[in-house]
Structure 1
Amino acid sequence: MEFDFTPVIDYFPTLLKGVGVTLLIGLAVALLSILGGQLVAVISLYTRKAVNWPLRFFIWLFMTTPLLLQLYFLYFGLGELILIPAIVVGILGLGFHYMAYNADIFMATIRSVSHGQYEASRSLGFGHLRTLRYVILPQAFYRALPQLSNNMIIMVKDISVLSAIGIGELVYVSQYAISITFRPFEFYITIAVIYYLINLMMEAGQSWIERRAAYRR
């Protein structure tokens, strides 16, 4: 078999659009899952059981069911009740999925902060919320950075699952190009290289963020 990358060159602008969609979705999901995970962790740890048990069930549900099933449920299940654009479903589905994992990480790192720091902050006149905001959560966030970064690298690769509901990310536009050119290996090799380069950039960003976090501590 001879490889011919001419069709890949012809469709490269289309692939770049898919990369752009992938990165934009990744950014939205990262913000939703990290901020939401932090909020879910705080509510789960510092509220009554009537409130935190439903959130713990949410964490358990999204961590124990397949991502594709969650996307189908949101897209086809809720789609019967509410008209939701596919890209919104994709961001919410991935966001909730990784929010559950990030919440679990934040719960562990919040617990790892010495309770003496909480008591010292309260003795200095800080209220409960200000203590969480200025003392507990910053330390918990820095401790969670390595695991959060790893989750985000995995999440970017999981964006390819969104092609199942018709979102024009990298894999979806590649499949479209393959259906026209009938050159699957060339396109699959190309998108594998693209994902590898994205991973390299994210790993470099992770190292930079962790160095900055270590310096600030």
Structure 2
Amino acid sequence: MEFDFGPVMTYFPTLLKGLGVGSLVAVAVAFLSVVGGLVVAVISIYINKVVSWPLRFFIWLFMTTPLLLQLYFLYFGLGEWILIPAILVGILGLGFHYMAYNADIFIATIKTVSDGQYEASRSIGFGHIATIFYIIVPQAFIRAIPQLGNNMILMVKDTSVLSAIGVAELVHASQYAISVTFRPFEFFIVIALLYYVINIFMELGQAWLERQTAYRR
């Protein structure tokens, strides 16, 4: 078998376009999953059980079912009643999936902040909400950075699953090129290398962020 990367170079702009779409999706999912996960965690811990139990069920549901099934449910299931663009389904599907995992992380890190800090904050005049968002949440967020970083690295790789619902990210773009050139192995090698480079940069960024916040933990 002889390798021929000529077709890959021809369609490399197509791959870069797919990489750009995947990157935009990843940024949107990162924002939704981190902010949403933090909100879900705070409500689950500090609000009464009538509100928190449905949220805990949400966490359990998205953590115990496959991501692809969740995407199919949103795209094909809800699509029978509501026409939702594939890229929006991808953002919501990945966002809810990783929101559940991030909420679980935040619940754990919030509980590591000592009760004494809450009591001390209240004793100097901070209200309940102010104490949570100015004292508890910042510390919990910093402690969650290593696990959040790992989740974000996994999430970027999981954007490839969105090709199953027609989102024109990197894998989907390569499938089109492969259907024209009939050179799957070469394209898959290049895609793997692109993901590897992305992972390296994300790991370096995570390591830098952990060093910058280590003294605050």
TM-score with structure 1 setting the length:
0.99
Shift of 1:216: 5.1
Shift of 1:80: 1.1
Residue 198 of structure 2 is aligned to residue 202 of structure 1:
no
Distance 2:34 2:72 in 1: 23
DSSP 3-state at the match of 1:45 = helix
Distance 1:208 1:19 in 2: 24
Corresponding residue number in structure 2 for 1:211: 211
Corresponding residue number in structure 2 for 1:180: 180
Matches within 5 A, 1:62-211: 62-211=62-211
Per-residue CA distance 1:14-39 (angstroms, 9 max, x = gap) = 00001111111110000000000000
Give the root-mean-square deviation of aligned CA atoms: 0.8
Across the two proteins, how many residue pairs are aligned to each other?
A: 217
Corresponding residue number in structure 1 for 2:23: 23
Shift of 1:213: 1.2
DSSP 3-state at the match of 2:83 = coil
DSSP 3-state at the match of 2:212 = helix
Shift of 1:155: 0.4
**Structure 1 residue ranges (4+ consecutive) displaced by more than 2 angstroms after TM superposition:** none
Unaligned runs of 5+ in 1: none
DSSP 3-state at the match of 2:116 = helix
Distance 2:124 2:23 in 1: 44
**Measured at CA, do residues 216 and 114 of structure 1 come closer, stay the same or move farther in structure 2, by a change above 3 Å?**
closer
Per-residue CA distance 1:58-88 (angstroms, 9 max, x = gap) = 0000000000000000001111111111000
Distance 1:81 1:72 in 2: 14
Shift of 1:162: 0.2
TM-score with structure 2 setting the length:
0.99
Shift of 1:207: 0.8
Shift of 1:215: 4.5
Unaligned runs of 5+ in 2: none
Residue pair 2:19, 2:170 contacting (<8 A) in 1 also: yes
